[in-house]
Structure 1
Amino acid sequence: MTVGICILAHSHLYRVEQLVHHFAARDFRVAVHVDSATDQDEFDTFAAAVSDLPNVVLAPRQRCEWGTFALHAAALDTAEVLIDRFPEVSHVSLISGSCLPMRPVEELQAFLAKHPNTDFVESKRLGQDRWVQEGLEEERFTLYHPFKWRRQRLAFDLSVELQRKLRVKRRVPEGLELAMGSQWWTLTRRTLRRIINDPRRAEWERFFKRAWIVDEAYVQTMVRRHSLDWQDVSLTLTEFDPQGKPFTFYDDHSQILAKTNKFFARKIWHGANALYNRYLFGAEPLAAARRQDAIPEVAAMVETGRERRCRGRAGLLSQSRFPCRGFEDQHATPNRYLVLNGYDFVFGGMEQWLHARGVDYAHGRLFRQGRVEFAHDRSVMPGALTADPRVRDWHPVQFLTNLLYQGRDGFHSFQFTASDNRPVSKFILKDPNAVIFSISGAWMLDLLPSMGEEQDAFRRRAQHLQRVEQKFEQALTAETTRASVYQFTLEDVLAAPAVAAHAIETMLPATEKVVSMMNATPQVHGNLKIDALRDRLHSAGIATDSFNVLPSRVAKSQQIMPRVLREMGK
């Protein structure tokens, strides 16, 4: 039983040299193809380093570009060179220059000796077994692909779109059952020879030369025609991200890789010295030997990585992962939080009242002009966020998301009004974690005239705030709003302040404080000069319907309920 290894190398040939010596020293036959785009001096150094190995052969070089037919041609030509040069080879395994053997190569020899007539190729039938992570699948073959995806991306995309509009559909040659799978295979000499000597090979190649990513389809298709016995599995561990890019393994994956039952693993970072020392030279990394943590399976670890990449961690935006605007798979905030619009205009001591009911971070007006009101008058919050309005105003939305994520161990609330910060109000309305309690019309209570303010200046200020508030209230019911929204009118709140306050309690964390103080109510501001303000607003041409607090409404205060504009999960 003699096993041959085909290696497709593109870069970092010093690592390929180590890999070749590892196999050659254990009586394997090795054929290496080096991409002709690789630096000539680097190739000459590599060729000289392996020239004295009698069981190693270098295949003629050709340019290999990802996704093209040339990459498949290089693999098949190298395999042909190997079996022609070494007639004693019974099986051939194709690996890349960034692969490492995960198990002693003697185990591979013993395994193949038990399966002398079996081919190990991942082969998923097109249209029946899903294999592609993202991108083209059937159109890899039914469309023409004359352009290089990496170097001619725009031309490639335009070509695909044009062919779709023209309804182009290439004819698949008769007798060909298209399949796809991992390009890293292990074939018997018999199957490999039959693929190479197939009398219809020229016809097959004419078809595949216009296809895309042929190295994941040609052998995977042909094995169904020529193999006596094949298993739909690759002996090489390969994992991909949702965009189809190979997962790269580093030194800190050492113990995870040790749990795989595969014979090879790809893709190994060329700088992973500990992995190369362990799997090529048998040196156990000291850090891995000391590590006592539970080691996850490779598949579970990769799935966690995929989840982190696609969905992230709720509320965490960082330099390493910052989804573009409109990316909906990741919540921008980690937990529910409470936004009180207009409550601080009506009630005094709201922050203390909320804290007594289990709100860990009962902030004031976080976005008040020229001032940041953190809970308990703090100057610094977790995450080194300072109560500096210049820091906040540099990017108010990121200020809020950072505050909520760094303090995700507790429940947050803050006072807000639409005039505080419009970008923040837009963000809150689209955040499904936001629970908004709004008092319609409460903004007018903040309009007490400044000393010496002229009537015209007061009118302009009032009209501006009214427009801002109207836009905010319209947005509360917009289709794009994902926050939970509960709204009272100012008339309702002035008639029955306890109802407006206790409605909030249903959204607060259940604690002993809530139970013991359920009947307490925050105090309404005693200095609300409603009559004077109503007269002045009327003189300025501002509607004052919200101030018409009639006795009949007060008598029916127990019937007052918030208007539910949108609830969580709806």
Structure 2
Amino acid sequence: MSVGFVMLVHEGFLRTAQVARHLASHGCPVVIHVDKRVPNEAYQPFVDGLADLENIKFSKRHRCEWGKWSLVAATQDASALMLDSFADVRHVYLSSGTCLPLRPIEDLVHYLDQRPTTDFIESVTTEDAAWTVGGLDTERFTLRFPFSWKRQRRLFDRYVSLQRRVKFKRKIPSGIVPHLGSQWWCLTRKTLSAILEDPSRRTYDAYFKRVWIPDEGYFQSLVRKHSTNVESRSLTLSKFDYHGKPHTFYDDHLQLLRRSDCFVARKIWRNADQLYDEFLSDRSETSKTAEPNPGKIDRIFSKATDLRADGRDGLYMQSRFPAQGKGKGKTSAPYSVFEGFSDLFQDFDGWLSQLIDARIHGHLYAPDRAEFADGQDVVAGGLSSHAALRDYDPNGFLTNLIWNTRGVRQCFMHGPRDNQKIGKLISSDPNAQISVISGAWAVTLFRSADDFSNLRREAARLQRIEAEHIKQLRAHNVKARVRIWTMADFVQNPLEPLQAIVDDIGSVNVRRLTQAPQMHDLTGFSQFLQTLKNQGMNPHLMGDFPSEPDVENLLSERKKTYLVK
């Protein structure tokens, strides 16, 4: 006994002929249906090229269309021709012109010989068909679908809506329980003959002609009526993306296809020369008894689907931005933002670079230019220090920098003088570590020789900007790792917060800090703040700086007291 192949073809005739010849030369009869829309100039050479093989026949041609009854009618005629022409066929295997055998034909024949009464067809009830994507489940069997979903979409949708409004519901023929599944099956001669010779076939055919995508429901439903031994699975490896579109296999999927141990795969790219040469040869690397197991590669396809649907953390492409609500990270790697540190300390970035293994930038969002580390003008990702280019898309500038420097932690300074448009991004980014010394921007004003009236106006502006930024960082939906100190609290004991920051970065072999970076001379700073108050401004972000003129005395008086029990 042997297995016969029914092939539904509408293009790729050179590859189809190659596969058909391979099957026929290994003792498997082949019946081919060619779409009637194929012009005779392409059809006739295809037929003539296989005329030397007696066990290859061509069935009556139908004009086939996706989602329409014509595909079932083509399968019925080709299957009937197979059963009438080849009496020794015990199983009929339905395939397409893009299918490719992955194992020796002898393996498939041996496998089916061990299961002579088993029908292999994916067949699940509509309630369990979780694989339908963006389509209809139960309604495809209870509504009418006279219009083409591809060619007459507007009529299709309107007619479905009309039937729903009037609560129209078709009667399902007696003895039929609607099932769904893949159209690629392998049925026994007994079951297939029973379906084709069913006394009620005329009734069933009339009903399924108005079912949506009947090739996914006709045989899947009728096999439940006639078969006594159904395995609800297909022997054909076919994978679909999250849109319900079939994956196409290329040459670089060779090892993946081997690993599946499946007998047949679709859909194979017509120019995948390596796949066709390898699998249509007589070389075999599989065991004759190996069970088809597409689950071996499911993890890879699931991961690919997740990447396609959700994207990768921090990767923004022209073709697709990450969808909202997917929960993906805004950036691809952890990074640190230091606010107020460069105002309070001398050469803070140089001090930090000696402690941690990271790339320490200056103010990336400074008004005049992006202050890249080492004064670079262009960095990885083709990012320019030019302020206008950066400010065209401030968020994209940062995500691009983090993506293209993966593996090296990025740190940069920020403050109220800089472009504030990244505030929402960094506050909602779990990868961000944000450390803020509030009010430290006043140190730079304090050290300035500008007219005091100008300094007061600038101080008011900067405080307003930073207050809004801190409000954003303290919102309930913030996902960044945020630490905020007032300047007064920070200068009292800088080693403790600096140690916490370095520990949070997770640098290796960093011992306990014994010395903080050199702080700017703050002598007279408290008087500067008092003068701002006297001029009508309330510098509240700095914390509780007393009015004593000598900050050194302030620090010595406010040293922490530790209670030892």
Whether contact under 8 Å (2:357, 2:507) holds in the other structure is no
Deviation at 1:101, TM superposition (A): 0.7
Residue 279 of structure 1: aligned partner: 279
SS of structure 2 residue aligned to 1:259: helix
Alpha-carbon distance between aligned partners in 2 of 1:6 and 1:474, rounded to the nearest angstrom? 69
TM-score for the superposition, normalised by structure 1? 0.83
Residue 44 of structure 1: aligned partner: 44
Whether contact under 8 Å (2:487, 2:543) holds in the other structure is no
Residue 425 of structure 1: aligned partner: 423
Deviation at 1:496, TM superposition (A): 4.4
SS of structure 2 residue aligned to 1:435: strand
When structure 1 is superposed on structure 2, of 62-71 and 387-396 the one drifting more is 387-396
Aligned pair partner of 2:341 in 322, 343, 358: 343
Write out per-residue CA displacement over residues 263-322 of structure 1, whole angstroms, 9 at most, x where no aligned residue: 1111111110111122224589xxxxxxxxxxx953343233224323444333446x63
Deviation at 1:98, TM superposition (A): 0.5
Residue 509 (str. 1) matches residue 506 (str. 2) = yes
Aligned pair partner of 2:517 in 509, 522, 528: 522
Deviation at 1:250, TM superposition (A): 0.8
Deviation at 1:94, TM superposition (A): 0.3
Deviation at 1:171, TM superposition (A): 5.3
Aligned pair partner of 2:472 in 464, 470, 475: 475
Write out per-residue CA displacement over residues 89-138 of structure 1, whole angstroms, 9 at most, x where no aligned residue: 32210011111111122322232233222211122233246444665444
Q: Paired residues, what number?
A: 545
Deviation at 1:391, TM superposition (A): 4.8
Whether contact under 8 Å (1:502, 1:521) holds in the other structure is no
Write out per-residue CA displacement over residues 44-94 of structure 1, whole angstroms, 9 at most, x where no aligned residue: 332332344432222233333333333333323322232234344322100
Residue identity opposite 2:272 in structure 1: A
Q: Which has the higher Rg, Structure 1 or Structure 2?
A: 2
Alpha-carbon distance between aligned partners in 2 of 1:450 and 1:350, rounded to the nearest angstrom? 19
SS of structure 2 residue aligned to 1:32: strand
When structure 1 is superposed on structure 2, of 264-273 and 73-82 the one drifting more is 73-82
Residue 191 (str. 1) matches residue 191 (str. 2) = yes
Deviation at 1:18, TM superposition (A): 1.6
Residue identity opposite 2:409 in structure 1: F
| Change beyond 3 A, Cα 1:89–1:466 | same
After the TM superposition, which residues 49-448 of structure 1 pair with which residues of structure 2 at under 5 Å, given as runs? Answer: 49-128=49-128, 130-132=130-132, 136-142=136-142, 144-152=144-152, 172-282=172-282, 297-318=296-317, 322-326=320-324, 328-383=326-381, 385-389=383-387, 391-417=389-415, 420-445=418-443
Structure 1 residues not aligned, in runs of 5+: 285-295, 561-570
Deviation at 1:539, TM superposition (A): 7.7
CA RMSD of aligned residues (A): 3.6
When structure 1 is superposed on structure 2, of 259-268 and 198-207 the one drifting more is 198-207
Aligned pair partner of 1:549 in 531, 544, 551: 544
Alpha-carbon distance between aligned partners in 2 of 1:95 and 1:359, rounded to the nearest angstrom? 58
Deviation at 1:157, TM superposition (A): 5.9
Write out per-residue CA displacement over residues 238-272 of structure 1, whole angstroms, 9 at most, x where no aligned residue: 12222222121111222332233221111111110
Residue identity opposite 1:24 in structure 2: A
Q: Percentage identity across aligned positions?
A: 37
Alpha-carbon distance between aligned partners in 2 of 1:39 and 1:535, rounded to the nearest angstrom? 92
| Change beyond 3 A, Cα 1:228–1:339 | same
Residue identity opposite 1:14 in structure 2: L
When structure 1 is superposed on structure 2, of 178-187 and 471-480 the one drifting more is 471-480
Whether contact under 8 Å (1:125, 1:179) holds in the other structure is yes
Whether contact under 8 Å (2:7, 2:33) holds in the other structure is yes
Deviation at 1:163, TM superposition (A): 6.7
Whether contact under 8 Å (2:311, 2:322) holds in the other structure is no
Whether contact under 8 Å (1:530, 1:547) holds in the other structure is no
Deviation at 1:11, TM superposition (A): 1.8
